[in-house]
Chain A
Amino acid sequence: MNAVISVGKKVLTVVALTAFTLAVLIPLLWMVLTSFKSGPEIFASPWGLPGKIHWENFSHAWQTAGIAHFFLNSLIVTVATLAFLIPIGAMAAYVFARYPFPGSKLLFGTFLGGMMFPQFLTIVPLFFLMNTLKIGAYSLYDTKLGLTIVYIAYSLPFTVFVLTGFFQTLPKDLDEAAMIDGASHSKVFWRVMLPLAKPGLIVVGIFNGIGLWNEYSLALVLIPSEANRTLPLGIANLVMVEHYQSDWGALFAGLVIVMVPVLIVYWVFREKIHETMLAGALKG
């Protein structure tokens, strides 16, 4: 009797979990499937398979709809942000982890506080700040440079938080030994500590990279012109403003183009990403 109940429960669990898994996956699979279909096929039935694979949806999205341009913008902004964020964040984190000074706890706390401020708290002042700050004759508003600077600043709290924890775990006698050998503080950081921190830097880079690639709200407010649009802005604009619905296939292809790079990176680094997410959640 007990055995029957336990088998029944197992079956029920499997059925429920399968249903849940399908609920997560079906919209995603539908998106990918639809990106290969022709317009009439999309209207005929959402479940039907495409007669042949319409790769031209992807070329339409990439070229005609301008996704290529947005893709390049996103790539530039994301890479530039990471290129500055990681060293700047690591330098600050190293000081917080290894060089206590009067007020260092308070300063560190101020940085962590940034993880709690919702972006919208600062969005209006930030909008005007970017309009006011000028490089030459141009303001930072509506420039990739401006967006990059803002992205660096808003990614710092999390980056400093994770990397400080990482530097704290590295053995202390290493830098002491190097210092006795006559190396300067800077030399110890760049030659000894940073190479040791490489796994931490990679995780932080991936994690931030995904978030930056996907970022929408700040870009929405700070980038009005088409020339500087990032991928999320570009695809949103195609749907909302330009009503690109005449070419459904290309729209779905566009969504797939936005999604796929992120999911590939995520899948490769998923274990590390989970660890970082949990560390942030459970300690924070």
Chain B
Amino acid sequence: MKNRGRTAFIVTYLAPAVLLYGVFVILPVLQAVGYSLFKWSGLSSKKTYVGFDNFKQLFHDDVFWQALLHNAWIFLFGGSAILIVAIAVAHGMQGESRATKALRSVYLFPNIMSLVVVAILWEFVYDPHIGLLTSVMKLFGGGATHRSGAAGIDTSILGSPTQALPAVIVTFVWFAVGFYIMLFSAGIRQIPQEVAEASKLDGAEGLFRFRKITLPLLWSVGRIAVIYLVINTLNVFALVFLMTQGGPDRKTEVMLTYLYEQAFVNSDYGAATALAIANFVIVMAVSGIVLRLTRKDPTGVSH
């Protein structure tokens, strides 16, 4: 009785999801592997099989390495800033009162907004004429004359080869940190009340308690946070694309903005797909390495 029409039910109810997912997600993933082995400018007549040439070319492409390096800077500097701020805020703002909960929700605002709004807003923050930051700098006597020079040389922050990447990283931190605060707050909540109480009774105080009790118990949440950072920093796109387009002079180029350029500006679809696969492999490899390195909790606290 229970099996009446069971198979038919399973098939019909899975079909729409499987079909959509198969055609629009799985098929393009498989195609990506194929595309990366061809030299192709979009006209099907000019599609030639080149084996791993696209990957070899990528390996010898200075722009790719430059882009990868910028992704690495965003991960290292942006990521550490996010971890430090998130753990500090989560630690300093424990408890479940209305006010703390409301504040944690406010911290998530930038994360909930469209990245497009975040990017444009910060472009304006850095704007030499109307920007918040310029006015702050003026307040402290610096940066009084940020103007496009007579020769049309852009002297704004996002136009500066040395300041543009740090400026993008600051925006990334502002955008992302709320999520990590929420993550670490949840981690701190999971610490059993007895452990916290016992450590207080034992006289463990302040920074010592934080280092010896709180931090080790946050290990597993910390691993998740780092994996998220790896994925999100190696896949930065909209923020850079909208704020600097990878410029000036590729000084903020990241893997995905370069991929976009290769595909939709240069019409070099084979090279773009090879880059997409390289990006995916790098994300997986770095995540794997992070998981391996952090598998054993060095503090030796089991939980």
Contacts and interface: CB of A to CB of B under 8 A. Distances in A.
B123 A150 contact: no
A122 B130 contact: no
B116 interface: yes
B136 to A, nearest CB: 9
A26 B263 CA distance: 38
A160 interface: yes
Interface stretch (A49-57, A196-204, A259-267): A259-267
Q: Is the interface of A mostly helix, strand, loop or mixed?
A: helix
A236 interface: yes
A131 to B, nearest CB: 9
Contacts of B246: none
B192 interface: no
Nearest to A154: B25
Q: Is the interface of B mostly helix, strand, loop or mixed?
A: helix
Interface in B25-44: 25-29, 31-32, 35
The bracket for how many chain A residues form the interface is: 35 or more
Contacts of B16: 88, 91-92
A178 to B, nearest CB: 11
Interface string A103-126: 000010011001001101111111
Nearest to A42: B130
Contacts of A217: 237-238
B101 to A, nearest CB: 8
Contacts, number: 237
A17 B105 contact: no
B109 A24 contact: yes
A175 B183 CA distance: 36
Interface in A1-44: 9, 13, 16-17, 20-21, 23-28, 30-31, 34, 42-43
A262 B92 contact: no
B215 interface: no
Contact of A120 (B25, B31, B119, B235): B235
Interface string B127-154: 0011110110000000000000000000
Contacts of A185: 4-6, 9
Contact of B109 (A23, A149, A263, A281): A263
B20 A149 contact: yes
Interface in B11-64: 13-14, 16-18, 20-21, 23-29, 31-32, 35
B174 A124 contact: no
Contact of B9 (A30, A110, A186, A240): A186
Interface residues of B, number: 85
B2 interface: yes
A124 B182 contact: no
B32 A121 contact: yes
B277 A121 contact: yes
B65 interface: no
B276 to A, nearest CB: 5
Contacts of B31: 122, 125, 129
A21 B130 contact: no
7 contacts: A23-B174, A101-B7, A107-B14, A120-B237, A122-B276, A156-B17, A216-B114
Interface of B: 1-2, 4-7, 9-10, 13-14, 16-18, 20-21, 23-29, 31-32, 35, 85, 88-89, 92-93, 103-110, 112-117, 119-125, 129-132, 134-135, 174, 178-179, 182-183, 186, 206, 221, 224, 228, 231, 235, 237-238, 242, 256, 259-260, 263-264, 269, 272-273, 276-277, 279-280, 283
Given A24-B107, A95-B14, A236-B242, 19 more contacts: A24-B109, A27-B132, A94-B13, A118-B235, A120-B279, A123-B276, A125-B273, A129-B27, A152-B20, A153-B25, A157-B21, A210-B112, A232-B117, A235-B117, A255-B121, A259-B117, A262-B112, A262-B114, A263-B109
